[in-house]
Amino acid sequence: MSRIRTAGLLKMKQEGKKITALTAYDSSFAKLFATCGIDVLLVGDSLGMVLQGLDSTVPVTTTEVAYHTRCVRAGAPEAFVIADMPFMTYPDPATACFEGAELMRAGANMVKLEGGEWLVEIVQALTRQGIPVCAHLGLLPQSVNVIGGYKVQGRDEDGAAALINQARALEAAGAQLLVVECIPSALGEQVSKAINIPVIGIGAGNQTDGQILVMHDMLGMNADYLPKFTKNFLTGRDSLKAAVEAYINEVRNGDFPGPEHSFNS
């Protein structure tokens, strides 16, 4: 896997090349994904649900994310690794920098935070301290108890305008990457065109600058439930490697996500 950094991801956006990303939590899968050519690995706080069997990401701690970040870095030494900052680990700039530093020391290249314009001061503080930031807008899993469930965001005109304004504010604050989750496809395209940094979608249509999926969903490992925005790439294939390569190819070709995996306004 060739070494990718933020400048390389920005160049991919500028050249219209789709960015491919998957969550990873251990060295073995990280090595497989890197060997297949995935551009970005995310050590997500989704580990609370897919590894720990919890019903949300809220209980996950920085210590746990740091542990899995070390595992991923060991398996993929050259990968671009983003680590999630868990629930309530960035209530103020000082706390955010302390928690973010632990994830960077564990091997992350960037940290990811969920939230809108209220994060501007936090993003500024992190970047001043040398901690690159990926922002996250749309459906915010850490806020599921406030928003009342896992619902598509930005479906009305006001909500869409607010999300675009938040994206611009976070970019201006220093965020170098943005994840948008569970928003209408048209809004995913609008956000990607409205800002200069790369926009990676999950349930945001195929006009964003890239795509990310939770690895367990992409491999069909959750037999009870498969979100609308994902696809079991292992179906009809005889190896994990073939499934990952199919995901990469379909994202880069613009075949995934299709209309059946996307949301309308």
- From the list 64, 99, 114, 181, the catalytic residue is 181
- Residue 150, token pair as written in the block: 């896992």
Q: Which residues face 19 on adjacent strands?
A: 210
Task: Please indicate whether residue 15 is annotated as part of the active site.
Answer: no
Task: Give the separation between CA 87 and CA 45, rounded to whole angstroms.
Answer: 9
Among 198, 197, 214, residue whose Cα is nearest residue 18: 198
122-127: long-range pairs with CB below 8 Å, 24+: 122/90, 122/92, 122/93, 122/96, 123/170, 123/173, 123/174, 123/175, 124/93, 124/173, 124/174, 125/93, 125/94, 125/96, 125/97, 126/93, 126/96, 126/97, 126/100, 126/174, 127/173, 127/174
Residues in contact with 11: Cβ distance below 8 Å, sequence separation at least 6, in sequence order: none
In the chain, the amino acid numbered 46 is: S
Q: How many CB atoms lie within 10 A of CB 105?
A: 11
Residues tagged active-site: 181
